[in-house]
Amino acid sequence: MWQKALDRMLQVMLHSGAIIVIMPDGSTHSYGDGTGVPVAVRLHDMATVRHLVLNPELALGEAYMNGTLTIEEDRLQELLGLVVRNLRSAPRVFWQRPLLKLRVALRRFTQRNAATRARRHVAHHYDLSDRLYGLFLDEDRQYSCGYFRTPDDTLAQSQAQKKDHIARKLLIRPGMKVLDVGCGWGGMALTLAQDHGAEVLGITLSREQLAVATQRAARAGLSDQVRFRLCDYRGVDGTFDRIVSVGMFEHVGLPHYNSYFRTVRDRLADDGIALVHTIGWVAPPDATNPWIAKYIFPGGYIPTLSEISRAVETAMLWPADIECWRLHYAYTLRHWFDRFNDNEADVRALYDARFVRMWRFYLAACEQTFRHGRQAVYQLQLSRRVDAVPLTRDYLYRDAPLGQMRRAAE
């Protein structure tokens, strides 16, 4: 019964490419239109078949993690690329629709990230071994989308270009007070201080990130100019000339958007500028993928531009500039995936083979969603005053050094 149900589901969902599925009883089934090199998948037990029928978005990742689903030559990227491309237009089979509707209906309840819960969610992902992140990120520990001027840029180039692009949007002058919300391992804060003369307060809910960021500031001789605190964004006092938040908004939770942007407004000087960099969903609102929510980012949510905009409007902030980055995160994730694979033995020594498969699936699934799905990156430049930033974007793209562009903007 379950094999027949899975066969029917895959016939509906997989209409392009070529996927071969070997069922637990040894029978072989082909799906798609036969184009491209076939990807062969083997299912090793009936429990996996049943789980795929009932909850495929959760079951696929779990089966790969647990080894009950294996891919010939471990062509994980190719399989997930085919799945994401097909899901863009494939209808859901009738027995899955109620579960999907329920997930969407409950998203405001499942994403309630009060301060205590938010700290627990952050610890789940960011308080893993510091060595793990050093095995696949660039030297500056930028754990967010790079900015690729060409697809051939190196990971380090893309991350340096990302920080420069953000600094240009912030129009920072020496001595300005900057709040870095979700500062990670401190790379953005240290760059704004060292290269642009800013005084930066970075806040995080990760104890591991706090320790590393504080050590980095001390080694760079910037402890008097850059401070890091274990602090929720709702607990910050004072006023700042600039606010920057990169890759943190995805953890805020839909019920807290108004609170988040009110906090940005309340902490921002009257003539200040804020820059919020977040993954965004380029389609009507949806629920968080259940596998991602369970294993990678509990409490996380990818917002639509409309959901962000409503909260920005409620906070009476000006959307001075909104930029959509397409494919940049796909390129970033491929670098991370390749570096992770190159250091797979070291990751296995830190954790185990199941953890390795989990993170390979996470990195590959995210890449393919950015490459073939409806995810992108939004950068929102926000201000309290209508005249806080220049009238045009010219200042972002001139070849002049940033200091000259600041003087031109003034």
The DSSP result for 373-386, as a single string, is: SSEEEEEEEEESST
CA 146 to chain centroid = 11
Domains parsed from the chain with CATH numbers: 2-105 (3.30.1050), 110-409 (3.40.50.150)
Residue 183 is among the residues annotated as catalytic for this protein? no
Q: How far is CA 407 from CA 173, 242, 403, in A?
A: 9, 17, 6
Q: Which pLDDT score, from 0 to 100, does residue 410 have?
A: 44
Listed in sequence order, the residues at least 6 apart from 155 whose beta carbon sits closer than 8 Å to its beta carbon are: 138, 146, 332, 335, 336, 339
Q: How far apart are CA 205 and CA 183, in angstroms?
A: 9
Q: What's the CA gap between 97 and 83, in Å, rounded? A: 18
At residue 105, the pLDDT reads 63
CA distances from 161 to 54, 197, 274, 397 (A): 44, 18, 19, 12
Mean residue pLDDT across the chain: 91
Identify the CA nearest to 247 among candidates 125, 151, 153.
125
Whose tokens are 């200042």? That residue is 395
- CA–CA gap between residue 252 and residue 11 (Å, rounded): 38
Structure tokens at 123: 């610890």
- Residues 344-398: pLDDT tens digits? 999 999 999 999 999 999 999 999 999 999 999 999 999 999 999 999 999 998 7
Q: Are 39 and 20 in contact (CB under 8 A)?
A: yes
SS3 241: strand
Cα–Cα distance, 186 to 203 (Å, whole number): 9
**Do residues 278 and 300 make contact, with C-beta atoms less than 8 angstroms apart?**
no
The residue written with tokens 């010219």 in the block is 394
Residue 90: band (very low, low, confident or very high) from pLDDT cuts 50, 70, 90: low
Give the pLDDT confidence of 296-349 residue by residue, as tens digits.
998 889 999 999 999 999 999 999 999 999 999 999 999 999 999 999 999 999
Is the pLDDT score of 96 beyond 70? no
- pLDDT (0 to 100) of residue 61: 97
Query: What contacts 152, CB < 8 A, 6 or more positions away?
Result: none
* Higher pLDDT, residue 407 or 300: 300
| Direct distance between the N- and C-terminal alpha carbons of the chain, in angstroms, rounded to an integer | 71
In one-letter notation, the amino acid at residue 28 is T
More confident residue, 10 or 105: 10
What pLDDT does 176 receive? Answer: 98
Name the strand (E) or helix (H) holding 268: strand 268-281
CB-based contact 354:65 (threshold 8 Å) = yes
State what percent of residues in the chain have pLDDT above 70.
90
Instruction: Give the pLDDT confidence of 239-282 residue by residue, as tens digits.
Output: 999 999 999 999 999 889 999 999 999 999 999 999 999 999 99
